[in-house]
Amino acid sequence: MSGRSTRKPGDLQTRSYSADLEQDIVRLLGASFEGGWGNEVFWRWKHATRPGFTPRDVFVYTDAGTPVACFHVAVRPLHLAPGLDLICSVGGDLAIRSDLRGIGLPRSFYLQSARHLIEQSVVLRVGFTDSETYHRVYKPKFGHRVLPTVTAEYRKILSGRALQAKLQDFGDRLRSRPLLQRLLKRGQMTVRIAVCGFQPCDLVLSPDSTHCTTELSRRPDLRLRVPYKVLASVRNGSSAALWSVAGGLVSGQIRIGGVLRIFARLARG
Amino acid sequence: MPSHCTELPLPIRVRTFRSADTLPLVELANRCLAPYAGWVPRTAEYWLWTTLARPGVDAADVLVLEDDAEIVGYTALWGEGRVLDFVVDPDQPPRKRRALARQLIDAAEQRAQERGFDMLQFTLPISDQLVDTALRNSGYVVKQSEFFILGLLNPQALLQALANLRAARLTSLRIRSFVFELSPGQGPLLLTNRLILNLDPSLRVEDISDAAEYSTHCVIRIEVGSLAELIFCGRSIDSLLRQSQLQITPAAALADARTLLGALVVDTPWYIPASDRF
């Protein structure tokens, strides 16, 4: 038996924003976004206090008076080229109660909002998505196209806590490698990692778990000292990373101790 | 408001935001973003809303780089270490700009650590090589992942705006009227399926979807999604012609149609600042 609802968008009532809906809208968004969406203060800032906001920028479907789906647009000029600014709408914050998914509400919202946007002289509709949603929804159902942007995200870890979490992830991935599994058969292995600017920590690998701790053991199996910049260049995956590692080894910024002990352990295994 | 200052090699210093900075920051941001497409032109009202009024942003999270009383850069931090804006005066000489970028990155990291953020995350154009190098040299990991998508809602207004902008490139065309026959493709909505672009007596794009008869010397048939690819996504005319996603009739009009379509292309690189995210 299919769990899909037999209801249609026409069975629901449409409404635009009024302040009494805020709590329900935020609840809907919170239930739809993995990892949460935000609170009412954030919603009010993002939508109701936005320069140019009109209540018709918020589209709500209700069922017996209770909001069950919402969609938001923001109409704003976008700069496209020297001398060319066009009125565009950015769409998003789409949330649908789980039992009403798959009945065509996104398409309904799309068509319903189009009338409002045309009245506001909107020329282009834009939005943010991920590769999977683009290929599953936006391209085949709305005819949207992905723009080749030069936008990039640059990230750097600042706290020891976040670095340890990353090292633990790395340790988990490492543990699945056959060579390491062979090594770990003879017992757990402790790698002392000292990243310049952070507190040294021990990555403790055992056949079925990894943990990273700042409570240092007296005799780690392997010691590694590495500048954060080199770690980051490795994650950037460029050819520059090779040079960075080679340079670090030659200059002594990267130091590894205990390699012979590991080889001996491998030979014994 | 008391202002916290970090003394750096004089006369450049990093200080926190003061209300009198709003207009200079807006002007600087607009100048820095000018080479890109996809950002919202800043006004004082918009900047204050998207930055200072944002829940979780404090005036002390906006760091201003000042060179002898002139503002040459600024950055604004938000919750969990997201950097909303990072702007360094594009008109500074490259060597100085690089040094300014480094100073501002260091100041942002210091502020992020004061706030207890685990991570700092900048959203910037990778094509700004100077800032890109400064960030990589400071140990930043680079990722390009998010998709920015676009759909044409009003092709008539778009063609009119583009034709107006590029009018000078159309003066030499022998053919003076072009008809665009648009099909919706996968889109659920097409406002108009036939537009005429007349170069004379004045440049005008009109909706002739309902016209029983019309006179033209060139018909351009294209799906609205393919038109978006041609204008905004770098898709070439040849590739569309080869794959029959674009038809131009009669064949004798091909050269002029190519000139027209080429003039409509927006090839500005797209960059969407974090402060403009929806």
**Domain range list for chain A:** 9-142, 160-268
Of B116, B145, B174, the residue that ends a domain is B145
Q: Are residues B126 and B187 in the same domain?
A: no
Of B113, B145, B177, the residue that ends a domain is B145
B39: nearest CB among A78, A91, A143: A78
- Per-residue pLDDT reduced to its tens digit, B197-256: 999 999 999 999 999 888 888 999 999 999 999 999 999 999 999 999 999 999 999 999
Q: Are residues B33 and B140 in the same domain?
A: yes
Contacts of A118 in chain B (CB under 8 A): 153-154, 191
SS3 B187: coil
Q: What is the pLDDT of residue B189?
A: 87
Q: Are residues B134 and B169 in the same domain?
A: no
Q: Are residues B118 and B190 in the same domain?
A: no
Kindly report the CATH number that applies to the domain delimited by A160-268: 3.30.1050.10
Global confidence as pTM:
0.90
Q: Given an 8 Å threshold on Cβ–Cβ distance, is A143 in contact with B185? A: yes
Q: Given an 8 Å threshold on Cβ–Cβ distance, is B37 in contact with A152? A: no
Contacts of A155 in chain B (CB under 8 A): 119-122, 140-141, 143
Q: Which residues contact B55 (CB under 8 A, 6 or more apart)?
A: A41, A42, A45
Contacts of A122 in chain B (CB under 8 A): 153-154
SS3 B222: strand
- Residue B173 — very low, low, confident or very high, per pLDDT cuts 50/70/90? very high
**Number of domains forming the structure of chain B:** 2
Say yes or no: ipTM exceeds 0.85: yes
Average the pLDDT over B58-81 and give the result: 95
Residue B271 falls inside a structural domain: no
Closest CA to A149 of B266, B32, B74, B278: B266
* Complete DSSP assignment for B110-143: HHHHHTT-SEEEEEEETT-HHHHHHHHHTT-EEE
Residue B79 falls inside a structural domain: yes
- Per-residue pLDDT reduced to its tens digit, A89-148: 999 999 999 999 989 899 999 999 999 999 999 999 999 998 998 999 899 999 999 999
Tokens of A228: 């954060």
- Per-residue pLDDT reduced to its tens digit, A190-214: 999 999 889 999 999 998 899 999 9
Percent of chain A with pLDDT over 70: 98
Nearest chain B residue to A92, by CA: B278
CATH architecture of A9-142: 3-Layer(aba) Sandwich (3.40)
Q: Are residues B82 and B178 in the same domain?
A: no
Q: In the predicted model, is pLDDT for residue B11 greater than 60?
A: yes
Of B125, B145, B165, the residue that ends a domain is B145
- Residue A1 — very low, low, confident or very high, per pLDDT cuts 50/70/90? very low
Q: Decide if A75 contacts A30 (C-beta within 8 A).
A: no
Q: What is the pLDDT of residue A74?
A: 97
Q: Are residues B124 and B57 in the same domain?
A: yes
The CATH number that applies at residue B133 is 3.40.630.30
B40: nearest CB among A78, A130, A141: A78
Residue B218 falls inside a structural domain: yes
The CATH number that applies at residue B203 is 3.30.1050.10
Residue B136 falls inside a structural domain: yes
Residue B274 falls inside a structural domain: no
Q: Please list the residues that pair with A14 across neighbouring strands.
A: A61
* Complete DSSP assignment for chain A: --------GGGSEEEE--GGGHHHHHHHHHHHSTT----HHHHIIIIITSTT--GGGEEEEEETTEEEEEEEEEEEEEEEETTEEEEEEEEEEEEE-GGGTTSSHHHHHHHHHHHHHHHTT--EEEEEE-HHHIIIIIHHHH--EEE-B-EEEEEEE-SHHHHHHHHHHHHHHHHTSHHHHHHHTTS-EEEEEEETTS--EEEEEETTEEEEESS--SS-SEEEEE-HHHHHHHHHTSHHHHHHHHHHHHHTSSEEE-HHHHHHHHHH-
Measured distance CA(B204)–CA(B181) in Å, rounded: 16
Residue B278 falls inside a structural domain: no
Q: In the predicted model, is pLDDT for residue A237 greater than 90?
A: no
- Residue A235 — very low, low, confident or very high, per pLDDT cuts 50/70/90? confident
Contacts of B165 in chain A (CB under 8 A): 81, 83-84
- Domain span holding position B160: 155-264
Residue B44 falls inside a structural domain: yes
Residue B150 falls inside a structural domain: no
Q: Are residues B18 and B49 in the same domain?
A: yes
